[in-house]
Amino acid sequence: MSIDNEAYDDIEEEIVRQRVHAARTLFHQPRGDNDTVNSTRSLYDTDVIYHMIHGRRYCGEYYMPNDEEEQTRMQILHGVHYSLLSNSLTTVPLSSPTKILDVGTGPGDWAMAMGDEYPDAEIIGTDIAKIQPSAVPLNVFFEIDDAEEEGGWTWADDEFDLVHFRHMAGAFSDWSEVYREACRSLKPGGWIEVLDFDSHDRTLLSFFGKDSEVADWLKTINECAKMSGRPRGVAHLRPEVFTSAGFIDVHVTEKTIPMGVWPEDKEDKKLGKHFLIAQLCGVESVCLRPFAEQMEWDVEKIRNLCDTVTQSIREVALDPSSNGLGFTVRIVTARKPDGMEVDDPDEESVRTTTMTGLNGNS
């Protein structure tokens, strides 16, 4: 196997930097003092209980950590998706929106960027963890909220132009109920957009084989997800889940994110390197808590497997001949009926479109 040594050194340096500094230098442009405000409404004064598990910080039952290392990884992924969507933040056609909700906002990068792009709209980012910055655009607000809290959402009916979800696979036990609440909270004609990774298993296993440590790692992740009652995968992105929640005009878009140095296009190669950094730094993030709690493994066993998996993925991704290595991103958009539909609602509700493109190019 041939390794791109220059790329290897670049990747190692980037990983060290991201683990030491929770900075926004890769994709996030700093704002001027006049563009931000320390908003007293930015975060409710809510007690948030965190759990430390083997040195990583967690909130509630969610399997992913929310410490600085993970926040920086999510900031890198935000830039990856921005590039993948041809320097766009959303795929839905927004026209003079007044209120947008970002569920599971994490560090808040998408919400803040939307605040810059739509200065006349109110952007609300919610999360179970209080990890967002206090200096934000004047029209951006962060609030502590659990989208699966018993009793439903507290938002009023017909309130939002867009409800946005990203990287939330495994976050909820009942996606159908979450979607129903989102539909209720949207204005007539408003949009929902949900983005998640697809086909991890097929992509990785095609390069590593079913008897590899990578295969064992993926298999154990899926077993833990089933045991927790919050399966991962993309079942929540099936069109019928949206139509049953009341949505119409369901569109499915698939795009491929390259991982590694194999793309010939300069921008795709850069994207592949950045995405590889995010994925290598996420090997432990996606499995540490599930392996410790569901499988009851000790930390040494978990980290030994993570080290092996990380090294295996790194070697394959930095081999220029690993053509096609990458993950598929599935983006589902759907619309709340506005009462003006001309076609038969049953026909319109099941229309789907699937497109495939690399780095935003169909």
What average pLDDT does range 99-127 have in this prediction?
A: 97
Q: Which residues contact 358 (CB under 8 A, 6 or more apart)?
A: 255, 256, 258, 263, 268
> Given a cut of 80, is residue 356 above it in pLDDT?
no
pLDDT digits (tens, 9 = 90+) for 274-290: 999 999 999 999 999 99
Q: What is the pLDDT of residue 45?
A: 45
pLDDT at 162: 99
The per-residue b/e assignment along 176-214, b for 16 or more CB within 10 angstroms, e otherwise, is: eebbbbbbbbbbebbbbbbbbbbbbeebbbebbeeebbb
pLDDT of residue 5: 58
pLDDT tens for residues 49-87?
A: 899 999 999 998 999 999 999 999 999 999 999 999 999
In a domain, 161, yes or no: yes
Q: What span, in angstroms and rounded, lies between the C-alpha atoms of 142 and 132?
A: 7
In a domain, 243, yes or no: yes
Residue 11 lies in a domain: no
Range of the domain at 205: 45-336
Q: Is residue 132 part of a domain?
A: yes
pLDDT of residue 210: 87
Q: Tell me whether residue 148 is in a domain.
A: yes
User: Tens of pLDDT along 212-258?
Assistant: 999 999 999 999 999 999 888 889 999 999 999 999 999 999 998 99
On whether residue 58 sits in a domain, the answer given is: yes
Each residue of 159-187: pLDDT tens digit? 999 999 999 999 999 999 999 999 999 99
Percentage of the residues of the chain whose pLDDT score is greater than 90: 69
- pLDDT score for 24: 38
CATH code for the domain in which residue 236 is found? 3.40.50.150
For the chain, the domain total comes to 1
Residue type, 196: D
Give 361's DSSP letter: B
CA distance 47 to 35: 29
Which 3 state secondary structure label does DSSP give 350? coil
Q: Is residue 266 part of a domain?
A: yes
Question: Would 81 be classed as within a structural domain?
Answer: yes
